[in-house]
Structure 1
Amino acid sequence: MNPLVELAGAGYAYEDGPSVLAGVDFAIAEGRALVLLGRNGSGKTTLMRLLSGGLRPGSGSLRLDGTAVSYDRAGLTRLRTAVQLVVQDPDDQLFAASVEQDVSFGPMNLGLPAGEVRARVDSALAALDITALRDRPTHLLSYGQRKRAAIAGAVAMAPRVLILDEPTAGLDPDGQERLLDVLAGLRAAGTTVVMATHDVDLAVRWADEAAVLTPSGIRTGPAHALLSDPRLLSAAGLRQAWSPAVTSLLRAHALLDPLAPGPKTPEALAAWQ
């Protein structure tokens, strides 16, 4: 089965700058929770923009359902109805006077009938638990509410792949938990979610698969295995994850069966017997 979205031999360099990515083979499989990790300047943002059509590879290609993406109007419309990127700062994405107007902008731009636009807006607002904010001016929203409104605008496009750049950054613990609940609901409804983050503990807890950007290239694989490798994390400029470290310690002291999963959060450890 072909991946949903795939970069094949892709490279990119900004004008008058060095190559950011070169020879990248990277695929997003349907139904997975994929996390992107790497130090600042490692190419995460460039990778996300290539996958969503914001940038065009300088070499190689981007494929959607196994077919190379064309960068004309029709090709980009096809890509952007399948793949949506939500940037880190919601103020870079929100621009309409009210939440409902902002969320409806994308579906209206697709030329959908008014009834379909309303249905998509209603569904997206409900998915993000912000239906009560539909008439609220966007400039009066809290930071967490603006984050949700920005994600709702992407969800209203009914994408198959939703890419989120540091979605939990700037949120308090309760806001983070509420957002993770939202993402779980989106995944249950069939959306493939990709998250870029610096939070290794969040990545271990949330993701099925991981892509770690290092100076020597991208390493991909099951999240728990990849993020339990301290040398890989060090090479990527990331700190060791809490959960694998605690799990290793428990097993070393024969307090946890070798095949049993370890605690993923301090709260889980506190409740563990």
Structure 2
Amino acid sequence: MSELVALQDASYAYEEGPVVLDGLDFEVCEGRALALLGRNGSGKTTLMRLLSGGLRPRTGRLTVEGKVVSYDRKGLTRLRTTVQLVVQDPDDQLFAASVGQDVSFGPLNLGLTSTEVRGRVEEALAALDITALADRPTHLLSYGQRKRTAIAGAVAMRPRVLILDEPTAGLDPDGQERLLATLERLRASGTTVVMATHDVDLALRWADDAALLTPGGVRTGPAPRMLARTDLLREAGLRLPWGVAAAELLRARGLLGDDAAGPRTPDELAALAASAPADG
């Protein structure tokens, strides 16, 4: 796995506040869907803003493909064409009169030609399945449409890493499924996606890797293994995912081998149950 973006021995504290992150080592690997989990106040938002250049570490350094990021105009432009952050509330990110205008803002600031900007906007709108909304005033959008527009604005920058803060929060089940399908398409096209979430079931279903922010630091590894660590989940203020609990029950009843992967979705659980031998 190649390292795209990394923080090395990074620390950060807000003005007149306590240290939020201290001596942090954290990396985002290309092609791996990464879920970032932790209790409120654990430093998830700070970490995301450090990775995207919105904040600068007090100590330590941020690297992109092994090269240290400089916080001048050239360095930040390079970083923001590699990493894009979409915040939780789309209303904190949308400001233009129409969807198309909002999505075009980032590419315009890169100094691209009008043809290049138009191509990027069309590509991003199609990726988020909101082409029909291009001329819609942003104040007339539903919450889910505003979420998609905010993500499209980031996608139009063609980042290699897309960081999403609680992207499914506030969406109904159908909206969540549509967004997850969109993220899968983005991953298939080569975008590495990082998702901060409190939803351990979603993390188990969606992520390749999980990073748990605890008072003792961040612990990262394969999602099924990390989300079965009851000690780390307790430290991070999280519960056990239902899929892990179901796997433990299936193994206890001899219906799942010790080395076999447990269910990560209801459909996988149903398939395991259907394949189990009948009693008698």
TM-score range, shorter chain: over 0.9
Query: Partners of 1:25 and 1:200 in 2: how far apart?
Result: 23
TM-score by length of 1: 0.98
SS at 2:81's partner residue? helix
| SS of equivalent residue, structure 2 residue 12 | strand
Partner of 1:237: 237
Residue 117 of structure 2 aligns to a residue whose secondary structure is helix
8 Å contact kept, 1:2–1:66:
no
Q: Could you tell me how far apart the structure 2 residues matched to 1:22 and 1:215 are?
A: 10
Task: Give the corresponding residue for 2:270.
Answer: 270
Aligned equivalents of 1:79, 1:35: Cα separation in 2: 21
Question: Is the contact made by 2:2 and 2:30 (CA closer than 8 Å) also made in structure 1?
Answer: no
| Whole-angstrom CA distance in 2 between matches of 1:61 and 1:2 | 18
| Residue 160 (str. 1) matches residue 151 (str. 2) | no
Q: Deviations over 1:132-182 (max 9, x none)?
A: 111100010000000000000000000000000000000011100100000
How far off is 1:271 after superposition?
4.5
Give the equivalent residue in structure 2 for 1:218.
Answer: 218
Q: Deviations over 1:169-220 (max 9, x none)?
A: 0001110010000000000000000000000000000000111000111111
Mapping 1:1-273, distance limit 5 Å: 3-272=3-272, 273=274
Are 2:164 and 2:196, in contact at CA under 8 Å, matched by a contact in 1? Answer: yes
Give the whole-Å Cα distance in 1 for the aligned partners of 2:7 and 2:209: 17
Tell me how far apart the structure 2 counterparts of residues 205 and 271 of structure 1 sit (CA, whole Å). 15
Rounded to whole Å, the distance in 1 between the matches of 2:215 and 2:74 is 36
Equivalents in 2 of 1:198, 1:2: separation in Å?
27
CA contact (8 A) 2:209 2:223 kept: yes
Q: 4+ runs of 1 displaced by more than 6 Å?
A: none
**Displacement after TM superposition at 1:261 (Å):** 2.4
Q: What is the CA-CA distance between 1:263 and the residue it aligns to?
A: 2.0
Contact in 1 for aligned 2:201/2:242 (Cα 8 Å): yes
TM-score by length of 2: 0.95
Q: Which amino acid aligns with 1:100?
A: G
Pairwise CA distance, 1:3: 1.1
CA distance in 2, matches of 1:54, 1:120: 23
Q: What stretches of structure 2 of length at least 5 have no aligned partner?
A: 275-280
**8 Å contact kept, 2:90–2:146:** yes
Q: Separation in 1 of the partners of 2:27 and 2:256?
A: 35
**Tell me, what secondary structure is at the counterpart of 1:164?**
strand
- Deviation of 1:255 after TM superposition, in Å, equals 1.2
Report how far residue 222 of structure 1 moved: 0.7
Give 2:207's aligned amino acid: A
Amino acid at match of 1:250: L
Distance 1:270 1:219 in 2: 31
Q: Distance in 2 between matches of 1:6 and 1:13?
A: 19
- Percent same amino acid among aligned pairs? 74
- Structure 1 counterpart of 2:29, one-letter code: A
Could you tell me how far apart the structure 2 residues matched to 1:259 and 1:239 are? Answer: 23
Shift in alpha-carbon separation, 1:96–1:139, aligned structure 2, 3 A: same
- Structure 1 unmatched ranges of 5 or more: none
RMSD value, Cα: 1.0
> Aligned partners of 1:27 and 1:263: how far apart in 2?
27
Q: Residue type matched to 2:185 in 1?
A: G
How far did residue 256 of structure 1 move?
1.7
Shift of 1:260: 2.9
